[in-house]
Every structure is written in C-alpha cells, then in structure tokens.
Amino acid sequence: KLAKLSNSNAESSATRDGLGMTFNVVDDLFHMPKAMRQLALVQFFAWFALFAMWIYTTAAVTSYHYGTTDVVSQAYNDGADWVGMMFASYNGFAAIAAIIIPFLAKAVGIKLTHTINMFIGGAGLISFMFIDNPNLLWIPMIGVGFAWASILSVPYAMLSGVLPPKKMGVYMGIFNFFIVIPQLLAASILGLLLKVFFDGQPIYALVLGGIFMMLSGIAVLFVDQDKQTQ
C-alpha cells in the first residue's frame, strides 16, 4: 500500500509539473517581448515565401518554362531535374552569403542587411515569371541563397540581443512556432488562392512568395531592438 501511495504521489507530482510547464509556455507565448512579436511577423512572411517556393517551384518551372504538366513526359522530368539542381545551387550561394552577411551588417546595420537580402531574394522569385530561358534560372537562385542565409541567421541574432537571459531558451523555442504556422497556412491556402485568382497557374505562387519575402524585408525595419531585462 505504501508503494502504491508513493507511486500515486509521484504521478500526481509529475502531472502538476507538466501542467505547470505547459501553463508557463502558454503564458510566455501571450506575453512575448515587443521585439519578438515584431520578429515573428518578419519570420512569418519569410517562411511563407520559402514554403511557396519549395511547394510550387517544380510545378511552376515545368509548366511555365518547359510547357508541360504531364508528369511522365521527358520535358517534365527534365524540368524537375533542373529544379533539383537549382535548389542545390541556392544552398551553395547561401554558404557564400553566410561569409558576406557579417561584413554587410557591420557596414549598414543588421536590419538593413536583412532587408537587402530579402529584397534580392524576393526579386529572384518574382523574376521566374520574366525569364524565358530555363537555363538562366540559376541566376535568381543567387538572391534566394542570400535570403536563405539571412533567414537562418539574422532574425535569431536580433532576437538573442533583446531577450531576457533567463527566458532565452523558452522564447527561442516559441520563436520556432513562426516557422510551423506559415508552413501550415501555405499548405492550406496557396492552392485555393492560385485556383481562385490565378487560374491555377503555379508560377504565381513564386510571385506571391517574392512579394512575401519583400514584406519580410520591410517588416524588419520596424523591429524595436531595446533589450528586455525581465
């Protein structure tokens, strides 16, 4: 009986601890520092753009540049293979950008650095609609690579500079919610938006992605970087 009572008390204590931890996370979510809320919007726009690119680039390039939607055709497979090469290339450009970004931040400031990277990335996505030769589509990937490197580093650097140290881990975890939320939204509504407003043409998903990337670059300019102490 004593053993059962001890186990019951331990389970009750674990339940209370779990509920308390959940409550604390939810409370922190609704009481995020001002700069974190602003950076959440920056991340939302940026990751919505990225998911639009990841979901629709193959369909956009094969239909718009290779002129086919037949997934078993040679043209479609050539286009899909080229998209794979393009995606590999933007990761290479991102590695170069990661070296350049710190120097750019010292020269013009961290917020303007992110704005520049988001605008060249957004311009790259929008330019898919205006480049006829698919062999030239690696050029927009330069901008996408710079945007990708910036998205993975600059918002987190800005966030770490304004968060209270004792809440750093919790808030960094919560901040990642704003990667998942735009992913779910992009998967849920982009197809409907294309069908209703753009006759189902996937190239417009890349244009929308470019616009959202630029909105991210604008939003970062309004982030309040005053340090939180609580």
User: CB of 205 within 8 A of CB of 55?
Assistant: yes
Measured in whole angstroms, the distance separating CA 40 from the mean position of its chain's CA atoms is: 10
Block residue for tokens 């630029």: 214
Given a cut of 70, is residue 12 above it in pLDDT? Answer: no
Helix (H, G, I), strand (E, B), or coil: what is residue 193?
A: helix
User: CB of 223 within 8 A of CB of 35?
Assistant: yes
What local confidence, expressed as pLDDT, does residue 179 receive?
86
Q: What is the pTM of this model?
A: 0.84
Given a cut of 60, is residue 79 above it in pLDDT? Answer: yes
Given a cut of 90, is residue 1 above it in pLDDT? Answer: no
The Cα–Cα gap between 39 and 148 comes to 16
User: CB of 202 within 8 A of CB of 59?
Assistant: yes
> Which residue, among 31, 167, 149, has the nearest Cα to 96 in the 3D structure?
149
Helix (H, G, I), strand (E, B), or coil: what is residue 198?
A: coil
Given a cut of 90, is residue 164 above it in pLDDT? Answer: no
- Is the four-CA dihedral 20, 26, 30, 31 of positive or negative sign? positive
The Cα–Cα gap between 165 and 38 comes to 19
User: CB of 203 within 8 A of CB of 60?
Assistant: yes
What local confidence, expressed as pLDDT, does residue 14 receive?
46
* DSSP run (H or E) holding 9: helix 2-30
- Sorted by sequence, the CB contacts under 8 Å of residue 193 that are 6+ apart come out as 208
> Which residue, among 182, 122, 129, 180, has the nearest Cα to 146 in the 3D structure?
122
State both tokens at 31. Answer: 């009481």
Reported as a single tens digit per residue, the pLDDT across 129-147 is 999 999 999 999 999 999 9
pLDDT band at 5 (very low <50, low <70, confident <90, very high): very low
The Cα–Cα gap between 59 and 200 comes to 11
Helix (H, G, I), strand (E, B), or coil: what is residue 200?
A: coil
What local confidence, expressed as pLDDT, does residue 195 receive?
94
The Cα–Cα gap between 36 and 175 comes to 8
- Sorted by sequence, the CB contacts under 8 Å of residue 228 that are 6+ apart come out as 33, 35, 162, 163, 164
